[in-house]
Amino acid sequence: MAIYPRAVVELYTGQTGVAYRHTPTRLTLHTAVSSAVDLYKGRPDGNGLISHFYVNRDGVVYQYRDTQFQAWADYQGNAGSISVETWDGAQDVAWTEAQIAALADLYAWAYRVHDGLPNRLATVSDVRGLAWHRLGCTGNFGGYDPGNILTWSGNQTGLVWSRARGKVCPRDVRIRQIPEIYRRAQTGQATTAAQTTGVASAATLSDIEEVIEAMKATHVIFTYGSAICIADILAGTWRKMPDTQTYNDTLAVLKRTGAKVAEWRHFAASKSNTVANPRAFGAQVEV
């Protein structure tokens, strides 16, 4: 699996056979024309489209597809692309500072994890690396100028990443910001919301194992019935918190100690659940 350790993980696990596997060679930036906090909520939209990631206004990264499998946001360019949709409030606006930081961190992770994805800014002659949707879209984007990335498009690459002619995605104001995203990915200036809080989220047992390993988590927070529980991975134990302590209170206490917390949002433990196996996260459950 290839799961971004700082993502809120909501994987769509359909269509994950051999035919859908691919070797990522680029991370492709899109604009979603949406005000959504969580764009796909783990399932394709009514047109069958879904991207690997979505970065909302606050820089929170949602992951909908394991990057070892294709997503459906780049038409004929799905194979080889890690697609990233981004919040824009359905307006022609620049990426927020939080989005820029999140995108830089996501790209830095992508090129480190995927051997076929080089650390470079895409060009019309080689779209590998950090790319954007317009590189596969045809239209009237002005006369081609090798020194002006706003003029680079499918007109030169010959690639078809959209059914629509004239698609401007991710828009000029955002394309101008892409070199800065690339620069930050090189200099370590990317700081995502998840990086600041130290929280990653996952829905299933296999997901949480992947997140714990990727982020080197020290603790897992989850629910047992109505109780808030903490698993200490290093100690191999877990405990219920007092009934008077809220979820947010518990999370705040952990963060103040510098803990790296994997948040198991969609899980309720029970005696018969596989969480009782120490393999789940190194914690033996005793009820």
pLDDT: which is higher, 84 or 281? 84
Over range 82-98, report the average pLDDT.
96
The answer to whether residues 55 and 99 touch, using CB atoms and an 8 Å cutoff, is yes
DSSP state of 242: P
Helices (H), 6-153: 97-113
What is the C-alpha separation between 44 and 76, in angstroms, rounded?
17
Determine contact, residues 54/38, Cβ cutoff 8 Å. yes
Tally of CA atoms within 13 A in the half-sphere of 226 that contains its CB: 4
Q: Are strands 199-202 and 227-232 parallel, antiparallel or unpaired?
A: unpaired
**Are residues 31 and 94 in contact, defined by beta-carbon separation less than 8 angstroms?**
no
| Strands of the sheet with 219-224, listed across from one edge | 129-132, 26-29, 81-86, 53-55, 61-63, 8-9, 199-202, 261-268, 219-224, 227-232, 237-240
pTM to 2 decimals?
Answer: 0.69
Contact 53, 7 (CB under 8 A): yes
Q: Work out the angle between the directed axes of helices 97-113 and 178-187 (0-180°, nearest 10).
A: 60
What is the structure's pLDDT at 276? 34
* Strand spans (E) along 48-153: 53-55, 61-63, 81-86, 129-132
> Closest by alpha carbon to 134, among 156, 118, 117?
156
For the purposes of burial, counting CB atoms within 10 Å of the CB of 121, is it exposed (0-12), middle (13-18) or buried (19 or more)?
middle
Strands 237-240, 227-232: pairing kind: antiparallel
Query: CA-CA distances (angstroms) from residue 10 to 114, 202, 208?
Result: 21, 7, 11
Distances from the Cα of 28 to the Cα of 59, 240, 257, 279, angstroms: 17, 43, 37, 36
Residue type at 147 in one-letter notation: G
Average pLDDT, rounded, for the chain: 83
Please report, for residues 38, 53, 68, 217, the alpha-carbon distance to residue 127 in angstroms, rounded to integers and kept in the order given.
28, 19, 19, 35
Q: According to the model, what pLDDT value does residue 211 have?
A: 65
Digit-coded pLDDT (tens) for 153-211: 999 999 999 999 999 999 999 999 999 999 999 976 554 444 434 444 455 555 666 66
pLDDT digits (tens, 9 = 90+) for 216-227: 778 888 776 667
Return the exposure string of 161-200: e unless at least 16 CB atoms fall within 10 Å of the residue's CB, then b.
Answer: bbeeeebbbbbeebbebbeebbebbeeeebbbbbbeebbb
Residue 93 neighbours by CB distance under 10 Å: 14
| Tens-place pLDDT, residues 35-72 | 999 999 888 998 889 999 999 999 999 999 999 999 99
> How many angstroms separate the CA atoms of 136 and 127, rounded?
9
